[in-house]
Structure 1
Amino acid sequence: MEVERVQGIASLSNQNGSIPSEYIRSLSEQPAATTIHGVLLAVPVIDLSHPDAGKLISEASKEWGIFQVVNHGIPNELISKLQKVGKDFFELPQEEKEAIAKPANSKSFEGYGTKLQKEVEGKKGWVDHLFHRVWPPSSINYQFWPKNPPSYRDINEQYTQKLIEVANKLLGYLSKGLGLEENAIKEGLGGEELTYMMKINYYPPCPCPDLALGVAPHTDLSSITILVPNEVQGLQVFKDDHWYDVSYIPNALIIHIGDQIEILSNGKYKSVYHRTTVNKDKTRMSWPVFLEPPPEFEVGPIPNLINQDNPPKFKTKKFKDYLYCKLNKLPQ
């Protein structure tokens, strides 16, 4: 059975000026009705070269669950190349993209696809995506890496090496912010087996952006997410009972605290509730990398953070079981 891709639906929709009903959100979710317009949320922007960077990251993770980092050490030119090879992939002929589509019966996310999880009220997100693991080498399946453009693999491997340095620094700061040893959080996520999952989101132009969402409201099930956006506005965060646009800063990395860090910290760090809007005239893209524990690895509150006055707020469970419950909208 041929799968409908949003990129194809968008071509037709932009010709007739309407979108299929399954992409129209209920009134309580429509961006026009639920966004505070004209205000950009002042998410903390942290200079990673600043002597107080660790303290600022810890504070932002407790209060916001999201922050942006600059002077992170990944060359701007490399970020531009990452964006270009990803964009080039999505502009390939459809049959070439389908050659690395996620297999219908696959339990993994990996591959080119559209639907990700159980859809609430049958509503769909205005997005196509590509998932593939980039680290550690033992977890990589090159079957799901584009062969075109030819530089795709090399650019992604270069980016991953730089990203690992940033991730180790962030995880170390998050550990020390809880009064723990620098490696405590990374070890609590599987240590060197921590998996890096690249996702490219492709949100084509939408003739009715006030009615649709790219990605519905959610928290990330990862530990942290390190994201590169393009210049098209789309990320929104829920703060003080309202949805706000997050400002775009060229070449900054957007960091989301995900569910596994909230669990490890026993709730001290907050997983950020966010969603994605779409644009009438422009294609929005983003490149999140999700840092995930290995499937069989058990994640729970770090024992040093638990005592009589601070009992565990979360169950300890295998990451694959957490994932299953989250995707199928089951209680944890």
Structure 2
Amino acid sequence: MFKFAGIEEDFRAIMEIKHHSKWFNVQSVPQCYTFSPEERPGKAPIPICKKIPVIDLGKSLVSSSEKMETIKQLLQAGQQFGFFQVINHGIPENVVTQTMSTFKEFFNMADEQKINVPASKGWIYTGSEDEVKNGVHLWRDNIKHPCHPLEKCMQSWPEKPASYREVVGTYAAEIRKLSLTILELICLGLGIESGYFDEISQVQLLSANNYPACPDPSLTLGILKHLDPSLITIIYQGNVSGLQVLVDGQWICVGALPNAFVVNIGNQLEIISNGKLRSAEHRAVTNSREARTSIAIFINPAPNCIVEPAKVLLNEYNPPLYKSILYRDFINASKAFGIHTDAIQNEA
């Protein structure tokens, strides 16, 4: 079991090392990877949507007026879409490219180098062959592990590739700084006291995915439709799109922009903002042309943290829309990745 404070509960349900998938060269999608007609993406093309805002974080450093404009854009994106992309974020491009290369190298290693690791090591490699959702396997391979604080968790990470710990550690530290910058800007926009999120964002989990090219993307999924139970999630897509967001009942595709990060609002930030920001359902689809690698880092509260609407946002005209809840209880109640906040909304 994990020994790091605030991590055990997050991983309890997924503490089984699973086998590497064996379907890379198949000519058709096996039945066990074929989702029901209601869940599968279908053949209708979903073009890349230009509506998802792309926000230039560098402008927030130029002047007070530019900073307020950036904050306005963040809040509008969080209210309307629950998703946005950020550019000029301060993370060196070479850090990002090295990290993507390292994960691609990891996923290309021989099977036995990835699966012969006891769960007590503190990281999990899951191959699609045993990853089942609603009785159907997902078309992906995945590695998950905690990545904060680095000094406590880095020694439990994979030893191969040789560059893994150094490269991914640098990336995780940079993403942490970016996440705190975004959360602080959101604080300012909502009128919450500065530093509000510092103590409730202590758990940071990394999940990297490899989606092999698929002979028929209309039948299967890389990740099912879900909501993130995080404060925020920061995703790097590389140069291959595959992330789709549900907006007004329609799926839209989030384009993969060079050196840009996708940020999505998690359930916990929806609760803390008392519904001013919203978490949006999303999924990952496959394609028939090339493999896709993505890196997601989830910024979460600790299990014993009480999540509730920020008191400064509440008054007689703005009552709390959500009940207070321990993050541990929220996760346990969901039993799945991404519970709807409807379950803890106060009755009208």
What interval of TM-score do these two structures reach, taking the shorter chain for normalisation? 0.7 to 0.9
Residues in 1 aligned to 2:305 and 2:33: alpha-carbon distance in whole angstroms: 36
Percent of pairs identical after alignment?
32
User: Is the aligned partner of 1:132 residue 2:132?
Assistant: no
1:166 to 178, 183, 187: 178
Unaligned 5+ runs, structure 1: none
Q: CA deviation at 1:182?
A: 2.2
Q: Provide the residue aligned with 2:167 in structure 1.
A: 155
Contact 1:139–1:195 under 8 Å retained in 2: no
Q: Kindly provide the CA deviation profile for residues 183-202 of structure 1, in whole angstroms up to 9, marking residues without a partner as x.
A: 22344x25xxx111111111
User: Is the aligned partner of 1:283 residue 2:296?
Assistant: no
Residue 102 to residue 281, structure 1, CA distance change in 2 (3 Å) = farther
The one-letter code matched in structure 2 to 1:276 is A
The one-letter code matched in structure 2 to 1:287 is I
Contact 1:114–1:129 under 8 Å retained in 2: yes
User: Is the aligned partner of 1:37 residue 2:46?
Assistant: yes
Contact 2:82–2:280 under 8 Å retained in 1: yes
Contact 1:118–1:328 under 8 Å retained in 2: no
Residues in 1 aligned to 2:100 and 2:298: alpha-carbon distance in whole angstroms: 17
Unaligned 5+ runs, structure 2: 1-15, 60-65
SS in 2 for 1:62: helix
TM-score w.r.t. length of structure 1: 0.87
Q: Provide the residue aligned with 1:98 in structure 2.
A: 115
Q: CA deviation at 1:292?
A: 0.8
Q: Provide the residue aligned with 1:5 in structure 2.
A: 20
Extract structure 1 runs of 4+ deviating beyond 6 A: none
Q: Kindly provide the CA deviation profile for residues 139-187 of structure 1, in whole angstroms up to 9, marking residues without a partner as x.
A: 52632x1211111111112112222221111011111111122222344
Contact 2:18–2:125 under 8 Å retained in 1: no
Q: Provide the residue aligned with 1:49 in structure 2.
A: 58
Contact 1:298–1:318 under 8 Å retained in 2: yes
TM-score w.r.t. length of structure 2: 0.84
Q: Provide the residue aligned with 1:261 in structure 2.
A: 269
Contact 1:89–1:148 under 8 Å retained in 2: yes
RMSD between aligned residues: 2.4
Q: Provide the residue aligned with 1:272 in structure 2.
A: 280
Q: Kindly provide the CA deviation profile for residues 233-270 of structure 1, in whole angstroms up to 9, marking residues without a partner as x.
A: 20001112111111110110110111110011111111
Contact 2:18–2:115 under 8 Å retained in 1: no
Q: Provide the residue aligned with 2:35 in structure 1.
A: 25
Contact 1:89–1:146 under 8 Å retained in 2: no
Contact 2:103–2:208 under 8 Å retained in 1: yes
2:250 to 242, 246, 251: 242
Residues in 1 aligned to 2:88 and 2:287: alpha-carbon distance in whole angstroms: 29
Between stretches 35-44 and 235-244, larger displacement belongs to: 35-44
Q: Provide the residue aligned with 2:79 in structure 1.
A: 62
Residues in 2 aligned to 1:152 and 1:183: alpha-carbon distance in whole angstroms: 31
